[in-house]
Amino acid sequence: MPKPVVREEHRRRRRPTRSGTVLSGSAFVDAALRLLREHGGAGLTARRLGLVLDCDPSTLYRYFRGMDDLILAIGDRLIGQALDGWRPTGNWRNDLRTVGLRIHAAYTAHPQAAVLTASRVSGRANELAADEAVLDILRTAGFPLPDTVRIYHAFIDQTLAFAALDAASLALPKQSLCSDEEMWRSTYATLPAEAYPRIAEAAPLLASRMPTSAYPTALQMILDSVAAQWDGLGGRGDR
């Protein structure tokens, strides 16, 4: 049975640890991101967190219900970084594009953390703010509620799916990542046209495009689709 989380007003350690660290939930998230960056998911343990923060590993439970709760907080931190400084412009298409690119960039900037968190639902403050923002962009533009929810669902799932896919590649050992990217030039580019005519004709373009993220293109396609449907319905939303 998980231990009860200490109430917020009692969480912060009054005095720094011997190394000068003032413990807080945010400090644990910072340390966790560092461990994920340096050691991957297998390196994120209460013992390692205790070493990084110069505290007993059990101190984690003053701030989180357990490691899974910490992982949800990490995901919420990434979404918060994505929204930091963003303000809606009133142009639904540009606003959705900007939010999507920001979320994708925030996750891929921390690939090891993204692998653990992109598929999770935390219900925390930053996640709620992002959901509210996307829904408000669409409703303010005049989209009916059923269409708003449908578009939101496709938009956010596509964004997080690409974030997870691209992060998983970036989280690979450098040698494996380079090997995968080289495959487009060393294998696909040398396939015989007699057996693989379509791959052969596309090989140079595949070699240049496939190592990069398809998310900007996929995002453009979904926005084009929404705009076309909206125009067909006589919508008034800005393009």
CA atoms within 13 Å, Cβ hemisphere of 34: 12
Q: Which of the four pLDDT bands, split at 50, 70 and 90, describes residue 233?
A: low
For residue 234, what pLDDT band results from cuts at 50, 70 and 90? low
Is 60 exceeded by the pLDDT of residue 1? Answer: no
In a domain, 81, yes or no: no
Query: Which region holds residue 40: left if phi is over 0, alpha if psi is between -120 and 50, else beta?
Result: left
Distance CA 203, CA 198 (A): 8
Residue 82, in any domain of the structure: no
For residue 178, being part of any structural domain is answered with: yes
Measured between alpha carbons, how far is residue 166 from residues 71, 83, 104, 163 in Å?
19, 20, 9, 5
Mean pLDDT of all residues in 146-174: 96
Residue 3 belongs to some domain of the structure? no
The verdict on 98 and 134 lying in the same domain is yes
Please give the residue range of the domain that contains residue 227.
88-232
Can you give the pLDDT at residue 232? Answer: 62
- Is the pLDDT at 166 greater than 60, yes or no? yes
Q: Are residues 187 and 110 both part of a single domain?
A: yes
Asked whether residue 213 falls in the same domain as residue 125, the answer is: yes
Using only C-alpha atoms, the chain has a radius of gyration, in whole angstroms, of: 22
Report the alpha-carbon distance of residue 61 to residue 67 in Å, rounded.
Answer: 9
**Is residue 19 predicted with pLDDT exceeding 90?**
no
| pLDDT on residue 22 | 83
Question: Are 170 and 111 contacting, i.e. CB atoms less than 8 angstroms apart?
Answer: yes
Residues 123, 112: Cα–Cα separation, whole Å: 21
Q: Specify the pTM.
A: 0.86
pLDDT > 70? residue 207 = yes
CATH number at residue 51: 1.10.10
The dihedral over CA atoms of 60, 66, 71, 75, expressed in degrees to the nearest 10, equals -90
pLDDT class of 63 with cuts at 50, 70, 90: very high
| pLDDT tens profile 87-96 | 999 999 999 9
Same domain, 184 and 104: yes
Tell me whether residue 113 is in a domain. yes
- What does the pLDDT look like over 20-41, one tens digit per residue? 678 999 999 999 999 999 999 9
Total count of domains within the chain: 2
Q: Give the CATH number, domain containing residue 149.
A: 1.10.357.10
Q: What's the CA gap between 138 and 95, in Å, rounded?
A: 10
- Segment 153-181 shows an average pLDDT of 95
pLDDT for the residue numbered 229: 84
The average confidence (pLDDT) of the chain is 90
User: What is the Cα–Cα distance from 219 to 192, expressed in whole angstroms?
Assistant: 34
Same domain, 160 and 200: yes
More confident residue, 236 or 206: 206
- Identify whether residues 158 and 200 lie together within a single domain: yes
